[in-house]
Chain A
Amino acid sequence: MKNKIIHKAKGLSDRAVAWIFITPTLLLLLAINIYPLIYAISMSFTNFYANKLGREIKWVGLKNYAKILGKEAIWERMQITASFMFWTLLLQAIIGLSLALLLNKKFKGNELLTTLIVLPMMLSPAVVGVFWTYLYNPQVGLFNYIVNFFYDFGSFDMIGSSTLAPWAIVIVDTWMWTPFTMLICLAGLRSIPNYLYEAAEVDRANRLQQFIYITLPSVLPFLLLALLFRGIENFKMFDMVVELTSGGPGSATELASIQLKREAFEKWKTGYSSAYAVILFVTIFGFGNVYVKVMNKIKDR
């Protein structure tokens, strides 16, 4: 009855409206996202140089892939990337979850503090990178001053030393993105229904038991989700690190994504760098897939 009336309503049919609403989005995604991606994949089999447009493009098959995977360099960069990801994700998980648990205690001024803590996340990573070079400056930097205030290490250079530089980028990334983990964990904590705790109280479970058997399992899927997003972003990330250390000293902080940028936009080896990008994409896609499967299993338990 109701449906009939709607069908009689004037204007376009629902079908037409549906397509009018969806088509712009799909067309844009196809043109600006899918087409370039296919283009990049097809270039990865050629010796194309984007700065030599007149030059004949030759099909080289899998040569680019063989060249990249055969070199030590990519494995070194992958190791640097892996350790960067390991430490940032670990620290952001621990600090972010702890902060969320504390904020969930609903004290006065809670909301204002949440807003303040979230601020670093709003900054531009590139601007953050350049500004931290100032804070890390061995002569005038505030960071060095504060560290030396608590314990006198003398002069040290976070960016110039190849042992400290990897930690310099870990610190900045953790400073900037811990709020993200915190927010998602907080969302998870707030979605735990109260009756679970009430039931536990009836069963005389103590606080610690409630935490281990209710809070942790409920928040874990959210934490894992936050880490998935951070992992994908950090694997692709290069803006903050480029501005902070530009991969140096030497190649101490040259993440795979930074090397990719060098090959693509400094050496202009477009074919070669496209193959590199495909390798990185397949890597993150593979890891992401496995991670999501594990995550779903944990969620189902």
Chain B
Amino acid sequence: MVDTSRSPTESSGFSRKLAALIIIIYAVVTLIPITWIILTGFKSVTSSITYPPEVFFEPSLEGYVNLFTTRTRQSQEYLEALPPPETWYEELVRSREMVIAGPSKFFGRYANSLIIGFGATFLSVFLGALAAYAFSRFKIPLKDDLMFFILSTRMFPPIAVAVPIFIMYRKIGLGDTHLGMIILYTVVNLSLAVWLLKGFMDEIPREYEEAAMIDGYTRMGAFFKIVLPQATTGIAATAIFCMIFSWNEYAFAVLLTQFNAQTAPPFIPTIIGEGGQDWSAIGAGTTLFLIPVMIFTVVLRKHLLRGITFGAVRK
């Protein structure tokens, strides 16, 4: 007898357990590098370059101190002549025979990442929602062609347009500014935002806003008060993708910004200590840099899969 009561996508207990086991093994292996990044951030510089690599070590905040400061090496006599250190981090730096020369650029770079990342995410989701709504609801001449045009802008290699953008930005005073980078990332994200959000808007019944308009709302009012709240899942999913991109982007950042508006991705790889890269500080910087996207992902994880589903089904 064929067991028809069992749903076909539900497998037997054994194969499910085996699947779980393999997935757990994969997850552990794939998380080793990320765990290692986080651990290295809490190692002292010496412990980060021992062999064999230390899994158990005495935790130290040297990486974080190095990340946020610049230091100079001083002679023993000079250090002894100084008044005693006032803070724990000064003490830590002195114990390495150095003094703090000043703050590093990390804080500024991180702040730039936050401003540009959130600014571009907000702007691309907002503009994307407006355009998606129009494409979803109204008769627009050449609608399909316009939608394809919007998608095709995603295929251009960034380096191909970096030089023209560099020249253009310098002419109109947007070179190396937050606003310039926010606009640039917004544009790169827009194609995805419009496509994803149109899928979600199509799912919202027109009757909702029509009813609202009978009640006296204008079209604009109905959009902001009725449609947008209905599209929350779509907005969240789109926001994740836009955020991941603008938070991590490197090519434009390294080519178009230098002092004012440089974000953290081009900065972190340049953290060097004496005689090579300072891995503790890089680990610390990477960990701090990972936290916002990690929170974003964990909080919005349900929308992530839904967002991908939509993106995949809609094409």
Contact = CB atoms under 8 A, between A and B. Distances in A.
Contact of B282 (A18, A130, A194, A200): A130
A167 interface: no
B30 A117 contact: yes
Interface in A127-154: 127, 129-135, 139-142, 145-146
A215 to B, nearest CB: 10
B184 A114 contact: no
B119 interface: no
A54 interface: no
Given A134-B277, A239-B251, A40 B161 contact: yes
Interface string A1-27: 010011001111011011111101110
A11 B264 CA distance: 45
Q: How many residues of A sit at the interface, in one of the four size bands?
A: 35 or more
B220 A17 contact: yes
Interface residues of B, number: 109
B156 A142 contact: no
A122 B269 contact: no
Contacts of B179: none
B297 A115 contact: yes
Instruction: Describe B's contact surface by its main secondary structure.
Output: helix
Interface in B136-166: 137-138, 140, 146, 149-150, 153-166
Contact of A17 (B134, B154, B186): B134
B8 interface: yes
B208 interface: no
Interface string B10-52: 1100011101101110110011111011001000000011111
Given A11-B219, A15-B138, A125-B250, A119 B297 contact: yes
A115 B298 contact: yes
Interface of A: 2, 5-6, 9-12, 14-15, 17-22, 24-26, 28-29, 32-37, 39-40, 43, 50, 99, 102-111, 113-127, 129-135, 139-142, 145-146, 175, 178, 183-184, 186-188, 190-191, 194, 197-198, 200-202, 204, 210, 222, 225-226, 232, 235-236, 238-239, 243, 257, 260-261, 264-265, 270, 273-274, 277-278, 280-281, 284-285, 288
Given A34-B153, A178-B30, 18 more contacts: A21-B130, A25-B127, A28-B186, A99-B23, A107-B20, A115-B297, A122-B248, A123-B290, A127-B286, A130-B277, A134-B279, A139-B51, A142-B33, A175-B33, A198-B4, A265-B255, A274-B163, A277-B159
